[in-house]
């Protein structure tokens, strides 16, 4: 049986090569689908980290308009209530405020200069945005990758009068880690309701890098003109303290043993005016990232299952055609006393002889193509999402800046590789599909008697 099957496969070289090619191509696509899915798993875990087990407390803009400038006005005592719950592991609270650099210049571009009115140029000529946080390593712009610490250390809870500065702003003003500078309240800032006129001396604890993905019409939208400060300093320029200040938002990280949905349900029973706030799951703050991950998973499933289905259909059709041409041969086998099971066994052996080189080819080809294939797929997926979000951003006037760029963050890389486990999975599924295709294609012929096969020749 084995020799006869080998003889047929080697004698019918063209037919065998066609079958081997079909199986090899479909198996390669199946393996690449699994490799893409595995790479997406790893990248999503790396990109999202513990975001998936966190939630943000933000203002409910349908009921709460926020500050005069449209910022958040989350109360510190409400943040403290949630932070003290047993389910919360840690939290980050943020204050957004505005201040002027004393005796230093901000970064300008031709675009920001072109859009400035004389009045704005006068009132905000040295103005920077402040983001006050109790832990800068968990601040959204660093988590999203929009900012990256390149020198020094992150801000931690308990820091006072410390800042992180963009390296380009530091370079322009000949500043470095450890240097001191002064920031001053801006009297023209709409959120400076107390008309505070404070001067705060701060020390540069670290430098960060990152650049706007889109255009900026105002210098304060530039990454370079944002200072990450401790909470105390950001509050002080408005004449407030850490306790009396209002916060842009807060992000809470839930302990691993608790379910995020259940924790949110429990927290909503606290003595807090929930009309003012909404609780948003951490992953929801990165919709573009979620979209890119979902799209890649969908692409991987289509490749894997599509390859199996297409292989089954094509192989079944090819086998039907070829077995139809072998009716007389099968009739002779039956007349010589060969059982139908033995004939089916030979057909199965012929298929196995063709599957072996097909799987070997698929393994080596998929391994060689995996990384470039993943790169191509990722570029296609993220390109489509970026165009979609750019269109939505223009229509909804989202503006520019690191917050928007973090919101639009997608997967940037995939480490796609083929493992033996993936190959075994594809071999298992593909073999089952091919055997089913053989059963379907041979059933009509093998159910007939040898005489009918000869007369239908």
Residues 451 and 302 in one domain: yes
- Span 337-366, average pLDDT: 82
Q: Is 165 helix (H, G, I), strand (E, B) or coil?
A: strand
Distances, alpha carbon 380 to alpha carbons 88, 133, 214, 260, 393, in Å: 39, 36, 20, 33, 20
pLDDT, residue 47, reads 62
Answer yes or no: is pLDDT of 55 > 60.
yes
Angle, helix 287-324 to helix 13-48, in steps of 10 degrees: 170
User: Which residues, including other chains, have CB under 8 Å from residue 251's CB and lie 6 or more apart?
Assistant: 54, 55, 56, 57, 91, 92, 138, 140, 282
In 3D space, the residue among 55, 79, 44 whose CA is nearest the CA of residue 253 turns out to be 55
Question: Do residues 411 and 334 both lie within one domain?
Answer: yes
Residue 357 covered by a domain: yes
The number of beta carbons lying within 10 Å of the beta carbon of residue 190 is 12
Residues 134 and 181 in one domain: yes
pLDDT over 90 percentage in the chain: 36
Domain-embedded: residue 121: yes
Number of H helices, E strands in the chain: 15, 12
Q: CA 218, 137, 173 angle in degrees (round to 5)? A: 45
Q: Which tokens in the block code for residue 385?
A: 């999402």
The answer as to whether 32 is a domain residue is: yes
pLDDT of residue 450: 46
Give CA–CA dist 417/279, Å, rounded: 38
Residue of higher predicted confidence among 60 and 326: 60
Q: What is the pLDDT of residue 457?
A: 45
Whether residues 21 and 95 fall in one domain: no
Which residue has 């920077």 as its token pair? Answer: 128
3-state secondary structure of 47: helix
pLDDT, averaged across the chain: 83
The mean per-residue pLDDT over the stretch 183-194 comes to 93
Phi/psi region, residue 152 (left: phi>0; alpha: psi -120 to 50; beta: rest), is left
Give the lowest-confidence range in 21-25, 306-310, 398-402. 398-402
Do 297 and 360 fall into the same domain?
A: yes
Please give the residue that has the higher pLDDT: either 385 or 364: 364
- Angstrom CA distances, 363 to 162, 313, 416, stand at 55, 22, 14
Residues in contact with 142: Cβ distance below 8 Å, sequence separation at least 6, in sequence order: 136, 148, 149, 154, 208
Would residue 321 count as lying in a domain? yes
For residue 275, is it within any domain?
A: no
Whole-angstrom Cα distance, residue 54 to residue 374?
Answer: 29
Boundary-marking domain end, from 200, 219, 250: 250
Report the alpha-carbon distance of residue 331 to residue 326 in Å, rounded: 9
Report yes or no on 54 lying in a domain: no
pLDDT of residue 103: 93
214/113 Cα distance (integer angstroms)? 16
Domain that holds residue 443: 2-48+289-455
pTM check: above 0.85: no
Query: Strand 54-59 relative to strand 277-281: parallel, antiparallel, unpaired?
Result: antiparallel
Q: How far apart are CA 325 and CA 340, in angstroms?
A: 17
Same domain, 37 and 162: no
- Assign 320 a pLDDT band (cuts: 50, 70, 90): confident
**423 in the same domain as 347:** yes
Find the mean pLDDT for residues 415-429.
89
Segment 33-48, tens digit of pLDDT: 999 888 888 876 666 5
- Measure CA of the first residue to CA of the last residue in the chain; give whole Å: 24
**Percentage, residues of the chain above pLDDT 70:** 81
Q: How many CB atoms lie within 10 A of CB 310?
A: 16
Instruction: Flag whether 59 is in a domain.
Output: no
pLDDT band at 164 (very low <50, low <70, confident <90, very high): very high
Domains in the chain: how many in total? Answer: 2
Which of 140-154, 236-250, 378-392 has the lowest average pLDDT? 378-392
Average pLDDT over residues 395-414: 55
Residue 338 lies in a domain: yes
- The answer on 216 and 128 residing in a single domain is yes
Residue 4: is its pLDDT beyond 70? no
Residue 400: other Cβ atoms inside 10 A: 19
Q: Are residues 99 and 241 in the same domain?
A: yes
User: 250, 279, 311 — which closes off a domain?
Assistant: 250
């Amino acid at each position: 049986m084995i020799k006869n099957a080998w003889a047929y496969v080697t004698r019918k070289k063209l037919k065998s090569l066609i079958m081997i090619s079909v199986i090899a191509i479909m198996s390669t696509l199946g393996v690449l689908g699994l490799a893409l899915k595995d790479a997406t798993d790893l990248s999503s875990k790396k990109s999202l980290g513990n975001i998936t087990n966190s939630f943000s407390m933000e203002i409910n803009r349908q009921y709460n308009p926020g500050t005069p400038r449209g910022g958040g006005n989350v109360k510190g005592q409400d943040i403290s209530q949630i932070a003290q719950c047993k389910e919360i592991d840690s939290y980050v609270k943020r204050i957004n405020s505005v201040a002027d650099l004393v005796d230093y210049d901000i970064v300008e571009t031709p675009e920001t200069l072109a859009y400035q009115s004389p009045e704005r140029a006068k009132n905000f000529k040295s103005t920077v945005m402040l983001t006050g946080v109790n832990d800068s390593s968990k601040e959204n712009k660093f988590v999203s990758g929009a900012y990256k610490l390149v020198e020094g250390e992150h801000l931690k809870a308990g820091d006072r009068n410390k800042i992180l500065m963009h390296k380009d702003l530091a370079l322009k003003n000949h500043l470095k880690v450890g240097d001191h500078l002064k920031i001053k309240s801006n009297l023209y800032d709409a959120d400076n309701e107390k008309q505070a006129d404070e001067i705060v001396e701060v020390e540069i604890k670290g430098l960060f890098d990152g650049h706007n993905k889109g255009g900026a019409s105002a210098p304060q939208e530039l990454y370079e003109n944002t200072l990450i400060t401790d909470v105390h300093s950001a509050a002080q320029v408005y004449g407030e303290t850490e306790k009396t200040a209002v916060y842009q938002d807060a992000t809470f990280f839930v302990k691993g043993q608790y379910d995020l949905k259940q924790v949110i349900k429990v927290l909503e029973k606290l003595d807090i005016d929930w009309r003012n706030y909404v609780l948003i799951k951490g992953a929801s703050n990165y919709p573009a990232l979620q979209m890119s991950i979902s799209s890649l998973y969908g692409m991987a499933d289509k490749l894997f299952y599509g390859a199996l289905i297409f292989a089954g259909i094509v192989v079944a059709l090819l086998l039907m055609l070829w077995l139809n041409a072998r009716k007389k041969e099968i009739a002779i086998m039956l007349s010589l006393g060969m059982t139908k099971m033995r004939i089916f066994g030979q057909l199965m052996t012929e298929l196995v002889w063709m599957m072996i080189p097909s799987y070997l080819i698929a393994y080596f080809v998929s391994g060689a193509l995996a990384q470039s294939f993943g790169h191509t797929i990722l570029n296609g997926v993220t390109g489509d999402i970026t165009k979609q979000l750019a269109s939505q951003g223009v229509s909804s006037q989202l503006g520019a800046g690191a917050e928007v760029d973090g919101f639009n963050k997608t997967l940037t890389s995939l480490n796609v590789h083929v493992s033996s486990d993936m190959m075994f999975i594809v071999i298992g599924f593909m073999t089952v599909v091919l055997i089913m295709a053989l059963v379907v294609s041979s059933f009509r012929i093998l159910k007939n008697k040898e005489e009918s096969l000869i007369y239908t020749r």
